């Protein structure tokens, strides 16, 4: 893992992105202490996981859900997937309706 100053990374950003893709993350320092990490992502799923991992809103939702499960207030596996299927079907129908109205409007 490379450690580099912010000034150096700013001057050679393209090279650091290439390095992150080929050699791994780079720690970026600002006036000595670590300030950021430059990390190459290979898939959209990696990006999504990274964003969610650092999202205070998502972490709050997870904590609330975990607490509900501990208290026995969660939904069953079957009930969860039934709800997902119902909502997904509703979303698909709404998209189809919008497409039809756009063609005729």
Helices and strands per DSSP (H, E), number in the chain: 5, 3
87 and 67 assigned to the same domain: no
Instruction: Report the pLDDT value the prediction gives residue 46, as an integer from 0 to 100.
Output: 95
Q: Give pLDDT tens digits for 18-72.
A: 999 999 999 999 999 999 999 999 999 999 999 999 999 999 999 999 999 899 9
Q: Is 38 helix (H, G, I), strand (E, B) or coil?
A: strand
Looking at 18-22, 85-89, 100-104, which range is the least confident one?
100-104
19 and 48 assigned to the same domain: no
Total domains in the fold of the chain: 3
Task: Report CA torsion sign: 75, 79, 83, 85.
Answer: positive
9 and 33 assigned to the same domain: yes
Range of the domain at 99: 76-105
């Amino acid at each position: 893992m490379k450690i580099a100053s912010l000034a150096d990374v700013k001057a050679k950003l393209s090279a650091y992105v290439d390095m992150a893709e080929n050699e791994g993350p780079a720690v970026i320092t600002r006036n000595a202490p670590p300030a950021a990490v430059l990390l190459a992502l290979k898939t959209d799923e990696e990006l999504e996981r990274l964003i969610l991992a650092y999202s205070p809103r998502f972490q709050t939702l997870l904590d609330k859900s975990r607490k509900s499960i501990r208290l026995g207030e969660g939904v069953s596996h079957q009930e969860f997937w039934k709800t997902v299927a119902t909502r997904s079907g509703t979303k698909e129908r709404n998209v189809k309706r919008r497409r039809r109205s756009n063609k005729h409007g």
